[in-house]
Amino acid sequence: MMMECGHPYIAICPPKPPVTLDEDEFGLWIGETLVRKFTWRNINNVEVQVITYGATITSIKLPSASGAVDDIVMGFDNMEGYLNPLNPYFGATVGRVANRVGNAKIYIDHNTYNVSANIGQHSLHGGFKGFDKVNWNHYVCGTKVVMTYLSKDMEEGYPGDVLVQVSFELTDDNEFLIDFKATSTKPTYVNLTNHSYFNLAGHNKGVEELLKHEVCINADKITEVDKDSIPTGKLLPVENTVFDLRIPTTLGKVIDKIPGYDGFDHNFCVNQPSKPQEVFVARVFHPPTGRAMEVYSNQPGVQFYNSNFIPEDPKKYQGDKSKLKTLVGKGGCHYYKNGALCLETQNWPDAINHVNFPPAVLYPGEAYHHTVKYKFFVN
């Protein structure tokens, strides 16, 4: 076909968008309630998936140095898995208060509140029905997905109606951004986080590959904890200890040297300027695949956790194997203890009960704001 000027038509394909976002169904929650699934893809072959149940990251797929694409976060293929009581908060938005609350009590302006004691005499990750166990409302703005939830006054014992908003977005620069915001009608305690379990070799590669990861955390101190992992209020310098991860350290060289723990499950006090702002928190690198991840946040702490409470591998378990539970994840693979790591940016645990910890009370008229950025690389 010829144009009037005598030149042939040239078929021009529209440029590929740098980031695409697709929406679909994931499953049902409590009968007829539909759970939605959102999938981002960018021009660098990075793919992230989030569902409305628990505002949960279910998948992050990255290429390796050789071009192989693997899913690097633990999770499940369907709602049945996420509703399993053994689900250890895989990829979920955790709240109203992440981490532990000592003796399940909080003190705000001379008032005492008893919150849900769901781990012995203490409270963990918001109680029996935290933010990870609700189906969030949502709307889409461009390639950003915003999820919202209204936590009612005295839900799990916490005062105030709290309106929570969490936004998710993948960029063409391989950054996955999460932005948490909250407001309250009464003075209350809010401490949110995302609880993704990472193994840069692949979600199903287990402890052998996890131990090859190099970890660096920007922290000079950790919060000391008692036998129940409740902060004592004392800060411990990391220098000359196994907790000194300021220089990249191979996890396999230190994971079995933590006194009283089968790996790390500790809050690192992130080095920050006097005014809180987004800073470098941590870097993880898996040399065999060349995959690396950096974490940035405006929060004063990060809980570094090596999935110590996931069921043990029967091949390594020395006790009564009949008592071992089985956790089956994506693709039917079995997840075992120490098979992944978490970097949960947040306020220091139990901060509301320690005067020397960062401020933790959210007052009416104020806004809680927590940013976290995961930046992915291939070396």
Q: Check which CATH number belongs to the domain holding 318 and give it.
A: 2.70.98.10
CA distances from 267 to 131, 223, 374 (A): 21, 6, 19
Annotated binding site for beta-D-galactose: 99-100, 195-197, 265
Annotated binding site: 99-100, 195-197, 265
> Is the pLDDT confidence value at 247 over 50?
yes
Of 122, 138, 195, 203, the catalytic one is 195
Query: Per the domain annotation, does 120 fall within a domain?
Result: yes
pLDDT, averaged across the chain: 94
Structural domain count, the chain: 1
> Is the pLDDT confidence value at 12 over 70?
no
Active-site residue, 125 included:
no
Query: Per the domain annotation, does 77 fall within a domain?
Result: yes
Active-site residue, 25 included:
no
Tokens 């809680």 belong to residue: 368
User: Three-state SS across 223-260?
Assistant: EEECCCCCEEEEEEECCCCCCCCCCCEEHHHCHHHCCC
- Compute the average pLDDT of residues 86-90: 97
- What pLDDT is recorded for position 86? 94
- What pLDDT is recorded for position 312? 86
Query: Per the domain annotation, does 27 fall within a domain?
Result: yes
Token digits of residue 61: 């797929």
Sign, CA dihedral 137-351-311-291, equals positive
Helix (H) or strand (E) holding 285: strand 279-286
Model confidence at 3, pLDDT cuts 50, 70, 90, reads: very low
Of 156, 266, 344, 370, the catalytic one is 344
Query: Per the domain annotation, does 365 fall within a domain?
Result: yes
Query: Per the domain annotation, does 272 fall within a domain?
Result: yes
For 359, phi then psi, to 5°, come to: -55, 140
pLDDT single digits (tens) 256-306: 999 888 899 999 999 988 777 899 999 999 999 999 999 999 999 999 999
pLDDT single digits (tens) 155-180: 999 999 999 999 999 999 999 999 99
In the chain, the N- to C-terminal Cα span, in Å, equals 48
Determine the structural domain holding residue 204 and report its residue range. 19-378
Tell me which residue of 264, 282, 172, 167 sits closest to 211, measured CA to CA.
264
B/e letters for 323-357, b = 16+ CB within 10 Å, e = fewer, are eeeebebbeebebbbbbbbbbbbbbbbbbbbbeeb
Tell me which residue of 93, 217, 192 sits closest to 145, measured CA to CA.
93
> Is the pLDDT confidence value at 190 over 80?
yes
Query: Per the domain annotation, does 5 fall within a domain?
Result: no
Q: How far apart are CA 33 and CA 26, in angstroms?
A: 11
